[in-house]
């Protein structure tokens, strides 16, 4: 009981510490030392209407690559911890009910369209490769919930993942051939707000979306396989 009170006091003290820290911050009036320069220069220099996308892919492209590497490491580590191929396509797993099956059939094409829409408009509207990739992963995990016997192959997903990662790095390396920095946007800025604009940013985001989708789908499938093997 005593440890419980101690834990509560610790949590309250931690919250108070954070509150004091943030009460001294200029909230509502950020200094924006980098942000102002980005807001001023990004539309003309990068050509993406979504300035967050310019930051993520053009100014911090190499960080985004590190982010992808961390996601890849996490998915590999989960695969390593849960074991590969054990309990694959458990025949005892029962298919879902009629409503789930019919709903999945209805949702699958819609989820694909929405996922690719979000990915391909990542430089124009809120969204992008990471968000659209999660929608794509949901599209491929839902059928497994409805029909556990028909597991999509991990090999195909690994191929998609690997090819998308290669495409991201090759696009980055292509900039080096034109005497630009690694992952610098090529092909010119284009017209602001057009679907084909912002140079190589849509290509990079498509690669990110496919990689995130394949990685997350295989991660979730591993969890469902582990559940079915039980």
Partner 1 sequence: MSQSSLSILLLGALGLVGIGVGGLVLSRNLYRLVLALAVAETGGNLLLVLAGFRPGAAAPIIEPGRAVAAMVDPVPQAMVLTSIVIGVGVQAFALGLAIRARAAYGSLDMDELRGRMEADIDAEAGAPPAASQHAPAIARLAGQPEAKP
Smallest separation, CB 226 to partner 1 (Å): 6
Q: How far apart are CA 27 and CA 183, in angstroms?
A: 33
- Nearer to partner 1 (CB atom), residue 60 or residue 147: 60
- Name 124's Cβ contacts closer than 8 Å, sequence gap at least 6: 48, 49, 50, 193, 195, 197
Closer to partner 1 by Cβ: residue 78 or 100 = 78
Q: Which residue has the tokens 């992008």?
A: 128
Distance of closest approach, residue 109 Cβ to partner 1, in angstroms: 25
Q: What's the min distance (Å) between Cβ of 39 and partner 1?
A: 6
User: Is 65 or 111 the residue whose CB approaches partner 1 more closely?
Assistant: 65
- Report, in Å, the least distance between residue 122 CB and partner 1: 11
Helix spans in 87-200 (H): 98-120, 129-146, 154-177
Helix (H) or strand (E) holding 210: helix 201-229
Query: Which residue, 34 or 110, is less far from partner 1 as judged by CB?
Result: 34
Point out which residues bind partner 1 (CB under 8 A).
4, 7-8, 10-12, 14-15, 18-19, 22, 25, 27-30, 32, 34-35, 38-39, 42-43, 49-52, 54-56, 60, 63-64, 67, 70-71, 73-75, 77-78, 81-82, 124-126, 128, 130, 192-193, 212, 216, 219, 222-223, 226
CB 124 within 8 A of CB 195: yes
Residue of 198, 213, 207 lying closest to 132 (CA atoms): 213
């Amino acid at each position: 009981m005593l440890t419980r009170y101690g834990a509560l006091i610790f949590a309250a003290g931690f919250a108070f510490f954070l509150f004091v820290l943030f009460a001294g911050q200029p909230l509502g009036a950020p200094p924006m030392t980098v942000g102002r320069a980005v807001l001023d220069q990004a539309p003309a220099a990068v050509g993406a209407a979504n300035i967050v996308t310019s930051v993520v892919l053009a100014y911090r492209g190499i960080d985004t690559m590190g982010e992808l590497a961390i996601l890849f490491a996490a998915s590999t580590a989960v695969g390593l911890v849960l074991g590969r191929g054990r309990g694959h396509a458990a025949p005892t797993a029962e298919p879902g009910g009629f409503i789930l099956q019919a709903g999945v059939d209805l949702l699958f094409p819609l989820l694909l369209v929405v996922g690719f829409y979000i990915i391909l408009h990542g430089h124009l509207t809120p969204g992008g490769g990471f968000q659209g990739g999660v929608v794509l992963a949901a599209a491929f995990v839902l059928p497994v919930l409805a029909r556990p016997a028909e597991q999509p192959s991990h090999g195909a997903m690994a191929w998609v993942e690997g090819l998308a990662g290669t495409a991201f790095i090759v696009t980055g390396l292509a900039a080096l051939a034109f005497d630009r920095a690694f992952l610098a946007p090529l092909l010119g800025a284009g017209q602001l707000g057009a679907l084909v604009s912002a140079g190589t940013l849509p290509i990079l985001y498509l690669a990110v979306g496919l990689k995130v989708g394949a990685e997350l789908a295989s991660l979730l499938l591993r969890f469902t396989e582990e559940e079915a093997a039980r």
